[in-house]
Amino acid sequence: MSLKERITEDMKAAMRAKDSERLGTIRLLTAAMKQKEVDERIELDDLAVIAIVDKMLKQRKDSIEAFEKAARQDLADKEKAEVVVLQAYLPARLSAQEVTAEVNAIVAQLGAKGPGDMGKVMGAVKAKLAGKADMGQVSAAVKAALAGG
């Protein structure tokens, strides 16, 4: 079962269970998926769905931060509930040590040295770690690896 099919099945289950909060989040996700398919005239594969989920998670985390600064805990809690639902569709994430090890291996493989090679390294790292790691964490690991090299 593809990730897209799993999301559709989860949406049906949430409807049957009358779980309106979960259903709302899943509907937002399916709407984003449909939008991308229509805009680009493509059929989404699992990697593309993971990229959409990642983007939505980043938006939620930014919103949580903004709501907490504005002392709107009610809205922050709603966003946190959406984060929990969305994270269920991501594959297991790599630990910080695993990310650092992968980044160091790619830097060595490319022979990258210094901050000027950041773009080249990030391109290779994104291709390999897409959906498996938080890209903010990956970016920090690449910067550290290139600063040391």
> CATH number, domain at 54?
1.10.1510.10
What pTM did the predictor assign? 0.74
Quote the number of domains for the chain.
Answer: 2
* Same-domain status, 68 and 119: no
Residue 32: domain span: 3-87
Nearest CA among 25, 45, 11 for reference residue 130: 45
* Same-domain status, 118 and 62: no
**Mind giving me the DSSP string for 13-42?**
HHHHTT-HHHHHHHHHHHHHHHHHHHHHT-
> CATH number, domain at 133?
1.10.10.410
* Same-domain status, 80 and 101: no
pLDDT 10s digits, 37-93: 999 999 988 888 988 998 999 999 999 999 999 999 999 999 999 999 998 998 887
* Same-domain status, 105 and 127: yes
d(CA 76, CA 142): 31
